[in-house]
Structure 1
C-alpha cells in the first residue's frame, strides 16, 4: 500500500483535498459527481481522470454536503403502525423496491400507534432531512403533518387519514368491505354475528364498524360488538375474546377487525373447543398466511397491497420530482376483495 492510500485511511478526504491532488477546482469535481460534465463541457479525458482518482483513493462524497447543494437527500421516511404486521411489511417492501428504482432510499420505523412516539420520530426524520413521508398516522399529529407540508415536504397517508389536513392519502373501502362480509355470512345462514375490533377512533376502524352495523340493520339483526384496546399482550387479547364468546353462547359467526385479532381469535376459539364453521363461522379483515394454513382455511377481506403501494409511491414521487400538476389534495379509495374460504361456508339445512 503506497503512502497516499495509507494517509487516506487515517483522514477522510474532502472534495477540496481531491481537487488539490488533481490540480483542478472543487467545482469541476462537483459537476462531474453530479452528472453535469457534459452540460458544463468538461472533457471526457478529465472525467476519466477524476473517476480513476476517486476509485484509487476511495473518496466518498459527504451525503449532508451533497444534500445542501442539491436540496435533496434522496431519502423517504416510511412510518407504519407495526412493521412486523404482514400488511405493513408487504407495503414497505413494495414501496422500497419502486423507490430504489427511482434513486430513493427508504428509512422506516414503527409508531406503535402512539402519537408522542410518532412526533419524536418525525423530528428525527426532519433532522435527517428526508425528502418526503409516507405515514400510517395515529390520531393527534395533524399539526405536525401540516407543518411538514408547509415547509415543503410532501406527505402521503395510508390505511387511514386525518381529517382537515393537507396531506394526500390512500385508503380502502373499509365500510363497504365489512358490509359485504356480513351480507355473505347472512346469505349463508348465520344470524348472530359478532364484530371483534379495536377500541379506536381512527377512520379505518370506525368505517369497518359502520359497514358491520349497516348490514345488520338492513337485516334487522342484533349487534354484538367487542372492542379491544391497542397493543396488549396476545395472551390478554385471547383472554378477552374467550370471555366475550363465553358471555355470548348464541353467536354463530364472528368478524375480526384486523388480522392479528383474527389470529388471536382462532386461538381463543380453539381454547373453547369450538369448531369452525360448525359452531362459529369466521371472517377476518386483512389476509394472513396463517389463514390459508388453518383447517378449514379462513375467509378474509384482502386489501390490494400492490395497488396501494403503487399509488403511494407514485403520488409521492410526483410531488418530489415536481411532475405532479395536482395542487389540491390527492386521494384514492381502493376496493378490497372478499376471499371466501372454508371458515364461512353455508350452514347445512
Structure 2
C-alpha cells in the first residue's frame, strides 16, 4: 500500500496541510478549526491507518527562536566561517543557533535532522551530503522551513544559497592559461558532490576554450580519507621530467594546504617551476611565501542570505506555497604571487 503523506490527506479532504497537522497534534481547537473538519480528518487517518513518519514526529509546532545548522565539519575553516556569520546574522534577528557536524555521513546527517527537530528548532540550514534526498523531501512534505547552503539537490526544488563553482574554476584556469601555463594539473577529491563536479567541468571547459587538449594524466582525484598521505606521492608523480606540470590548480583550500606542504618538501619552487592557485582559501594564504592566488567565496553573504531566507520562510504563511529562493553567488578572484603575475 502506498505511504500516505500529509499532502495526500489534505488533498483528499480539500483542506490545508497545516490544518491536518494541527488537528493531528491536538491543536485544532486553539487554532479555531471547525469540529466538523477535525472529525473528518481524524476519521480519515483512522480509516487509512495513517502513521506520521519518524521525521515528522519531531517537527516544530511552537516557536523556540532557535535555528539548527548542520554542516559537514565545524573544524573546517570554510564551514567555521559560515557558522560564525550565520550565528551573527541570526542573533541580529533574535534567534540562537544550534550547530552540528555530519562529517559527510548521510546516516549521521539524517539523525542530526531528527535531533534538531526533536529540539523544536524553528528552521534548518543544511550543507547536505547530497545523499539524503529522503529527509529533504520529508521536510518539504511537512512544510518545515529549511535552506540548503554550499550544496544542493539539482533535481529538487528547494531554497538554496550556493556559489558559481564552474565559473570560479574557469576564471582561475583561464588566468593560468593567459600567463602561458599550458600544462595545468587539477587536484581534486573523489566525490559525487555537484560542487566538485562543476569545478572539474569548469577546468575542462577553460582548457577547451583556449585550444588546450586535456591530458587525463594531469587530473588527480584523491581519496577524502587519505589525501594527506597521498598528496606527496601524487605531486612527485606529476612533476617528473616526462610528465611535468607547469601549474597546479587545487579544487579546495585543504588540498592546496597539503599540496604546498608537499611542494616545499620536494624543493619545487613556486611560481618559477610550478604556479599555484586554489578554489577557496585559508587565512594564511596571504601570509605564506609566496602568497597564494585563490578563488574567494563570499562566505559572509552565504551566511547572511541563508538566515534571511530562512527567517522569511519561518515567518511566512505555510498554507500558501511561497516561491523557492535559489541563489547562485559569484566568486571573487584574488591574484597573488603564487602564479607569478
Question: TM-score normalised by the shorter chain: which range applies?
Answer: 0.7 to 0.9
1:141 and 1:186 map into 2 onto residues whose CA distance is 38
How far apart are the structure 2 equivalents of 1:256 and 1:337? 16
1:278 to 272, 281, 302: 272
Q: 1:292 to 1:326 in 2, by over 3 A?
A: farther
Residue 77 (1) aligns with residue 72 (2):
no
Corresponding residue for 1:159? Answer: 150
Alpha-carbon shift at residue 289 of structure 1 (Å): 1.2
Check if 1:119 corresponds to 2:110. yes
Kindly report which structure 2 residues correspond to 1:195-274, keeping only aligned pairs within 5 A, or say none: 195-223=186-214, 224-232=218-226, 234-246=228-240, 249-274=243-268
Partner of residue 52, structure 2:
none
Alignment of 1:131 with 2:146, yes or no, is no
CA RMSD of aligned residues (A): 2.2
Alignment of 1:1-349 (within 5 A): 71-223=62-214, 224-232=218-226, 234-246=228-240, 249-322=243-316, 327-346=322-341
Matched residues, number: 280
1:146–1:167 contact (8 Å) kept in structure 2: no
Task: Tell me the distance in 2 between the aligned counterparts of 1:304 and 1:211.
Answer: 19
1:196 offset after TM fit, Å?
A: 0.2
1:159–1:248 CA distance, 2 compared to 1 (3 A): farther
Structure 1 runs not aligned, ≥5 long: 1-66
Deviating above 6 A after TM superposition, structure 1's stretches of 4 or more consecutive aligned residues are 67-70, 323-326
For residues 69 and 235 of structure 1, do their structure 2 counterparts lie closer, same or farther at Cα, with a shift above 3 Å needed? closer
- 1:213-243 residue CA offsets vs partner (Å, 9 max, x unmatched): 0011122224321111223362344444444
Q: How far does residue 158 in structure 1 lie from its aligned partner after superposition?
A: 1.1
- What is the distance in 2 between the residues matched to 1:197 and 1:233? 9
Q: 1:233 to 1:180 in 2, by over 3 A?
A: closer
Partner of 2:42: none
Change (3 A) 1:248 1:304: farther
Per-residue CA deviation, residues 3-36 of structure 1 (Å, 9 max, x unaligned), is xxxxxxxxxxxxxxxxxxxxxxxxxxxxxxxxxx
Superposition deviation, residue 181 in structure 1: 0.6
Structure 1 residue 184, shift from structure 2 partner: 0.5
Distance 2:207 2:338 in 1: 20
Give the TM-score, by structure 1 length.
0.75
- Cα distance in 2 for partners of 1:315, 1:266 equals 38
The question of whether the paired residues in 1 share the 8 Å contact of 2:59 and 2:117 is answered with: no
If you compute each CA radius of gyration, which structure gives the higher value, 1 or 2? 1
CA deviations 1:58-99 (Å, max 9, x no partner) are xxxxxxxxx999711211110111111111111111110111
Contact 2:60/2:122 (8 A) holds in 1: no
In the alignment, is the contact (CA less than 8 A) between 1:149 and 1:166 conserved in 2?
A: no
